[in-house]
Amino acid sequence: MRIILVNRYFHPDESATSRMVSSLAFGLAERGMAVEILASQRKHDAPAPGLRRDERLHGVRIRRLPATRFGRTSLAGRAADYASFQAAAMLWCLAHLRRDDIVVACTDPPLLSVSMAAAIAIRGGRLVNWLHDVFPEVAVELGVLPRDGYAARITRALRNWSLRRAEINIAPTAGMAAGLSQSGLQSHAALTIPYWSEDGIEPVSSADNPLRTEWGLRDAFVVGYSGNFGRAHEFNTLIDAATHLRAASDIRFLLVGNGFGRARLEAEVTRRGLQNVTFRPLQPRERLAESLSVPDLHLISLLPQLEPYVVPSKLYGIMAAGRPAIFIGAAKGEVATALREHGCGETVPIGAGVELAARILVLRDDASRRREMGTKARRAFEIRHRRAPAIDRWVELLGTLASRAGAPSQQNDRVPYSATSGDASND
């Protein structure tokens, strides 16, 4: 039996999904499992392939498949990249999958489970879906697909079919799992295994952080955003706050990452003449502790209509770094609820740039409160989002499936949903 993870990006790519998939793959290999990964030949922010097609790293066999490389400049080009990778992964499974191999299909590209399900069934494999977001709902809420159009209805039906074909569907939050279970999938309810952060991320004090010096932020109060500048996130509120605080010479906004919206955001910063906003690229994982510890206060954003279809995984790295956060989005969403329950952050609605600026000033002037919130953030990470317990849950789940190797894959023989199997609300 092999565990085969399928995701478009993998180490050394530094995108959020790649980091999660890479962490899981290496963790399973560390525990003695035979792990392979099907990925593309490129990084998410690099048009050229540049990566070896076949290699072994930390016990994981990496197979990088050929696919088109139009990139993110157009929806048509992105769709072609999605389809070509799905076709390559499906053909690989038809040619190489062995009976009772367990295939963990992720959600990059979207609807990957649809293209994989039939090939896995033909070869006698077992499908596990690991949902990092929920398509087509994300596309509908972003206006890419008409809400009641044929495309949305057909893709939703195909998605539900592929989820029913799976042994189990893994979601990072109880909210996402509940949403899936209410979509006609009650007998195949999603199991919750929360996201985690790398064990190497520890709080780094401002005085000992070399990146603060390298980036000219040694004496500043730093408000940071770290991650993808994607369509799911909202940045006007952040920029409005930076505009209101432009006269506060000690406050600097640090935006670290890449993605679809970065160029537009840089253009808006230039248009407004904001000298208090600095952009940096995503940092390699060996510098994540330093990078996430540069800000005194982090910002996270998510469009309200995307709750609970998208989960900003950056929250868990922020917790690991022991930093407070302000969430820009829905007050009853997953991130807002976590910050409120753990006492490590606050929430402001989208469009409330003045309120965000006021909250930043209050926290700038209250170092003891920031320290308390940072301590609570780190404590929440230690209790709920450490890597080792999460990998243990995956090992237990995959071990249960492996123990049934050779048995017919029947609906009533699938892994049941239960709080003891990893419900985030019962951690």
Higher pLDDT, 199 or 226: 226
**pLDDT band of 187, cuts 50, 70, 90:** low
Q: What is the mean pLDDT of residues 278-301?
A: 94
Mean pLDDT score, 112-116: 94
User: What is the distance between the alpha carbons of residues 398 and 33, in angstroms, rounded to a whole number?
Assistant: 10
Hey, where are the domains in the chain? Answer: 3-196+387-426, 206-384
* Inter-residue contact 416 to 404 (CB < 8 Å): no
Give the H/E segment covering residue 400. helix 387-403
Give yes or no on whether 3-196+387-426 and 206-384 have one common fold.
yes
Contacts of 406 (CB under 8 A, 6+ apart): 99, 100
CA geometry: angle 107, 110, 116, nearest 5 deg: 75
Instruction: Provide the pLDDT confidence category of residue 183 given band limits of 50, 70 and 90.
Output: low
Domain 3-196+387-426: which CATH class?
alpha beta
Lowest mean pLDDT, pick from 45-49, 102-106, 137-141, 379-383: 45-49
Check if the beta carbon of residue 374 is closer than 8 Å to that of residue 319: no
Listing from the earlier edge strand, what are the strands of the sheet with 168-171? 54-57, 60-65, 35-40, 3-6, 102-105, 126-130, 168-171, 191-192
pLDDT for 199: 74
Average confidence score pLDDT of the chain: 90
Per-residue tokens: 227: 């991650």
Question: Do the Cβ atoms of 310 and 282 come closer than 8 Å?
Answer: no
Looking at residue 425, its pLDDT comes to 32
d(C-alpha 280, C-alpha 72), whole Å: 20
pLDDT of 66 strictly over 50: yes
The position carrying tokens 């932020």 is: 217
Which CATH architecture fits 206-384?
3-Layer(aba) Sandwich (3.40)
